[in-house]
Amino acid sequence: MTASRVLVLNSGSSSVKYQLLDMADASRLAVGLVERIGEETSRLVHETPGGGGGRERLGPIADHEAALKAVAAELAADGLGLDSPELAAVGHRVVHGGTRFTRPTVVTDEVLAEIRNLIPLAPLHNPANVTGIEVARTLRADLPQVAVFDTAFHSTMPEHVARYAIDAATAREYAIRRYGFHGTSHAYVSRATAALLGRPEAEVNVIVLHLGNGASASAVRGGVCVETSMGLTPLEGLVMGTRSGDLDPAVVFHLARVGGLSVDEIDSLLNKKSGLLGMCGDNDMREVLRRAGEGDEAATVAFEAYVHRLKKYIGAYTAVLGRVDAVVFTAGVGENAHQVRAAAVAGLGGLGLELDAEANGVRSPRPRLISPPDARVAVAVVPTDEELEIATQAYALVTQ
């Protein structure tokens, strides 16, 4: 029997998301989530999409080790335990790979140490990713653990794109450069867009707009990323649910000198209390749209700021690519909010962008074109699937 299953783990600071996929047909055997780890009110939700119904477990789960053991027990109860010979690998989402990791990597002690060394670049994310790998290794030592990095797809950006125009020695000393994030999503969606267009990936230039609670844009030439909007951290670029995106770095000095805020307070302000939330009090685009529809001024300005930034990036990346074959929307906002898509593309006829209003209004879980058939640039909606991409990359690595 060939082992064809991959368990995908996405370990956050207080949560673990997981999916068990069968790579023979890319089907989901189990999908679940443990949240509020370390609190009294922890919750595990476990579903088997193929049938069997879902289960919910409430009650304290002390740490990531307990969480992964609980996940393993749920899988075992469905006959999908980690001891199964059909399991080929565990694929771990790791947020920051620095310049060291540019492709999926089988975890060894050395690799784990190097991922730990990258914690200063991603202090909110990499520690939980490391813990997830450590615990998964103890549950089944013989199974390959594969780290798949959010930054890896962007490692092909040319040097002059990745560099900030600051003192070179300082940049080198502190590893300050643009890394980019959401890479598994940009990789998956740009490839799926070429498939939707029915053209080889190598011939297609795509602008991917990943608009979730976090949001990023990328310019992909022939399957190779040449530019992305997030930088040293996920703070740079588009207006997001709670992050400011681009701003004059002197805002930070001003807040420190004039406002008396500490570095940690400014970090929290820009990452957690800015973006849509900061501008109007809601980070969920559904609420922003509802309030803007009722004439709420703060929500309207927040929506307009969000769309304006998107337009700037579409224009900039059109210039970077020279020729654009498709602009594609993905993630929670991009897949669902037809108003955002319509507003982002409005007035960009000069760049070859037009929408078919009826197609844009259709709700569907499938990849689809929302531009008229004769448009110079295709506009598309392609649902992202980061778990499938992680599983695909991990499986390819362990079966090559």
The verdict on 114 binding ligand AMP (CB under 6 A) reads no
**25 classed as catalytic:** no
Of 104 and 332, which has the nearer Cβ to ligand AMP? 332
| Residues in 326-365 at the binding interface with ligand AMP, rule: CB under 6 A | 331-333, 336-337
Angle at 350 between CA 368 and CA 353, to 5 degrees: 5
Of 135 and 211, which has the nearer Cβ to ligand AMP? 211
Of 20 and 240, which has the nearer Cβ to ligand AMP? 240
| Residues in 238-267 at the binding interface with ligand AMP, rule: CB under 6 A | 241
Of 151 and 339, which has the nearer Cβ to ligand AMP? 339
Residue count, binding to ligand AMP (CB under 6 A): 11
Cβ-in-10-Å burial (0-12, 13-18, 19+) of 69 comes to middle
CA dist., res. 215 & res. 307, Å (int): 12
Q: Which residue is associated with the tokens 């643009």?
A: 178
Active-site pick, 150, 296, 325, 385: 150
For residue 302, what are the contacts with CB-CB under 8 A and spacing of at least 6?
A: 239, 276, 279, 280, 282, 288, 292
Binding mask 188-227 for ligand AMP (x = CB under 6 A): ------------------------xx--------------
Options 34-42, 56-64, 232-240, 282-290: segment touching ligand AMP (CB under 6 A): 282-290
Options 200-208, 279-287, 291-299, 352-360: segment touching ligand AMP (CB under 6 A): 279-287
Position closest to ligand AMP via CB = 332
The annotation places the binding site for substrate at 93
The annotation places the binding site for ATP at 17, 210-214, 284-286, 332-336
The annotation places the binding site at 10, 17, 93, 210-214, 284-286, 332-336, 386
The annotation places the binding site for Mg(2+) at 10, 386
- Which stretches of the chain bind ligand AMP, using CB under 6 A? 212-213, 241, 284-286, 331-333, 336-337
